Structure 1
């Protein structure tokens, strides 16, 4: 949601939200790498 989109600018998030965001970023990166492998 909005809070996730704004996370880099959001000063008062809690630790769990940062953990979730980190996991989501890793998932997105892995998906992009997998797609690049499939495309090539």
Structure 2
């Protein structure tokens, strides 16, 4: 049970990290677009 919870929390942490990376990349793209068009 404890190991299962640890695995679940680890997977959730990985998913959140991936989502954070995707949002960061999207924000950079948006910023680049804004910079291109003053």
Is this a same-fold pair by TM over 0.5?
Answer: yes
Q: Which has the higher helix share?
A: 2
Q: TM-score, normalised by structure 1?
A: 0.67
Q: Which runs of 4+ in 1 moved over 2 A?
A: none
* Structure 2, unaligned runs of 5 or more: 33-38
Over the residues paired in the alignment, what is the CA RMSD in angstroms? 1.7
Provide TM-score, normalisation by structure 2.
0.70
Q: Which has the larger radius of gyration?
A: 2
> Greater relative contact order: 1 or 2 (C-alpha under 8 angstroms, separation 6 or more)?
1
